[in-house]
Amino acid sequence: YFFLDGFSELGELRPFLFIPFSFMFVVSLFANSLLVYVIVSQRSLHSPMYILIASMACIDLSLPVFFVPHMLLSFLFDWRGISLIGCLFQMYFIHLLGAFQSTLLLWMALDRYFAICTPLHYQEQMALARFLKFVIPFSIRNMFAVLVVVSLAGKLPFCLRNVINHCFCEHMALVELACGSTTINSLVGLISVFSVPVTDFFLITASYTVIFSSVLSSGKSSAKALHTCVTHIVVMTVSLTIILTAFLSYRIRNGLPAAIRIFFSILYLFFPSCFNPIIYGIRTKEI
């Protein structure tokens, strides 16, 4: 049995964290639900690009549900306890949905590539049967990578400490409490980061490089093409910057306060859920 003790340094001010995080939670639920409703209810938006945006909204809607309610109760009523099974369950779905956030950005980049670079074959390439060849391998990769990380964490011996200095069951925060060697866990965690979000980032970058090269060389529809891509690039840049900052804050400490590390870890999961539906709603004219 573990106790989630994030932001304990704030003492009596800790309960006041309920206010900003509960506001962000409501914004996330409302904005993503509204975005999904608009796309589902409008037949004109039933095209691959908008279906992918709706899928991102579903991920952003689901992700906070796995950790924010428990975190808010912890702030308000000091309910900090969680079992090892509950912790591993929470960890699996948090990291799995987080992995799919970056993978969805990759699928969006592929959608824009087919729409701009091969417009005559767009409907053919984005047909479900064709597009599944991009969906299935990356989905299996995400599930396998997260399952390995969580399984290895569950096999560690915990014997001395049971206070997790975090607001949810983040991988490295739990691993730090183990009695034995955690070298393999740190290595596998590092490999999973490079095999999922970093790999997605390089593939996305390659896709947009080809897109921009094609647009600039043809000189046609450049403004429209750039507009449809910039929204995805803004979301990708913000998301991956926060993810890498949170990841590095646990491995390059240099006296970094625990509260700052916890804040970045919460931010990389929570902020995109609030930011993405707003930026897609504002920048996508049809929505």
Interior angle at CA 137, CA 139 and CA 116, nearest 5:
95
Global confidence as pTM: 0.87
Under 8 Å between Cβ of 205 and 45: no
- Hey, where are the domains in the chain? 2-283
Q: Is the pLDDT of residue 224 over 80?
A: no
- Per-residue pLDDT, 151: 94
Q: Which CATH architecture has domain 2-283?
A: Up-down Bundle (1.20)
Q: Is the pLDDT of residue 29 over 90?
A: yes
- Per-residue pLDDT, 49: 86
Mean pLDDT of 140-163: 91
The CA distance from 51 to 49, in Å, is 6
The CA distance from 96 to 144, in Å, is 9
Report pLDDT digits (tens) over 123-135: 888 888 888 888 8
Which of 140-149, 150-159, 224-233 shows the lowest per-residue confidence on average (mean pLDDT)?
224-233
- Per-residue pLDDT, 86: 92
- Burial class for 153, CB neighbours closer than 10 Å (0-12, 13-18, 19+): buried
Report pLDDT digits (tens) over 43-77: 888 888 899 999 999 999 999 999 999 999 999 88
The CA distance from 49 to 170, in Å, is 32
- Burial class for 171, CB neighbours closer than 10 Å (0-12, 13-18, 19+): buried
> What's the gap between Cα 212 and its chain centre?
26
Which of 13-27, 145-159, 166-180 shows the lowest per-residue confidence on average (mean pLDDT)?
166-180
> What's the gap between Cα 146 and its chain centre?
13
Under 8 Å between Cβ of 267 and 242: yes
Q: Is the pLDDT of residue 183 over 80?
A: yes
Q: Which residues of 52-78 are buried (b: 16+ CB within 10 A; e: fewer)?
A: bbbbbbbbbbebbebbbebbbebbeee
Give the C-alpha distances (Å, rounded to integers) separating 76 from 57, 122, 196.
Answer: 28, 51, 35
Q: What proportion of the chain, given as a percentage, has pLDDT over 70?
A: 94
Report pLDDT digits (tens) over 79-118: 888 999 999 999 999 999 989 988 998 998 888 888 888 8
Q: Is the pLDDT of residue 146 over 90?
A: yes
- Per-residue pLDDT, 66: 92
